[in-house]
Homo-oligomer: A and B are copies of this chain.
Amino acid sequence: MTATTTPIDNGVDVEFLRGAREALTAEPAGAKFQWRVTNTWVHGTHSQSTVQGFFGLGEEQDASRDFRFDADHPELFSAENNGATPVEMLLASLASCLTGGIAAVAQNREVQLHSVRCSIEGDMDVRGILGVDPDVRNGFSGIKVTYEIDADASAEDIEALVAQSQKRSAVYDILTNPTNVSVEVA
């Protein structure tokens, strides 16, 4: 399927993914995952989120992980700009989900990637979050993602990689379809 003589290597272990697909087809209970974050208010609109373990394959996993995300509002909003805004973090989440998916799909289709980059834009009328006009939604009116990809594949095959990543993306699904969110005070 390819003219190169060196093995295709995008750094994704597709043998593992194929094995996981088979194993979870046989044992669906292992497919129930729970991802978790804790968030602590610092000051003003500044808070810090911490990502550690998760639940999957029937047990607690990877408790040694420790990733931190600061979020804040920019100085334009008279805030202290100690981190990205939550909506920028959401765009980063979508972009990284699609990009990781492109690498995995490319590996599965034996397409060598050289570079993958996207820019992502979210349009928002801030009259929604400020409560100026109840007919203006709080969230984005739309999100546009534009990829530039250098790979050993035709333009058509590159388009197909992106489309397949989009089809299997968790974050794309969450943004484009309604997700149930409950918010409680303990």
Contact = CB atoms under 8 A, between A and B. Distances in A.
A57 B126 CA distance: 10
Given A36-B91, A183-B147, A65 B74 contact: yes
A51 B87 CA distance: 11
A129 B92 contact: no
B47 A99 contact: yes
Given A32-B125, A89-B96, A92-B69, A41 B102 contact: yes
Contacts of A73: 100
Contacts of A145: 181-184
Nearest to A125: B31
A44 B113 CA distance: 10
Nearest to A185: B147
B90 A174 contact: yes
Query: By DSSP majority rule, is chain A's interface helix, strand, loop, or mixed?
Result: mixed
A146 B38 CA distance: 10
Q: Which of A38, A86, A120 has its CB near the most chain B CB atoms (within 10 A)? A: A86
Contacts of A120: 36-39
A85 B67 CA distance: 10
Contact of A100 (B86, B123, B169, B175): B86
A183 B96 CA distance: 13
A13 B79 contact: yes
A56 to B, nearest CB: 7
Contacts of A12: 44-45, 79
Given A40-B117, A54-B74, A144 B182 contact: yes
A140 B127 CA distance: 29
A92 B128 contact: no
26 contacts: A11-B80, A13-B78, A13-B79, A20-B130, A31-B125, A31-B127, A33-B126, A36-B88, A36-B119, A41-B99, A41-B116, A46-B100, A47-B96, A62-B74, A65-B81, A67-B88, A71-B92, A86-B94, A90-B90, A90-B93, A90-B171, A128-B170, A138-B174, A146-B185, A147-B185, A175-B181
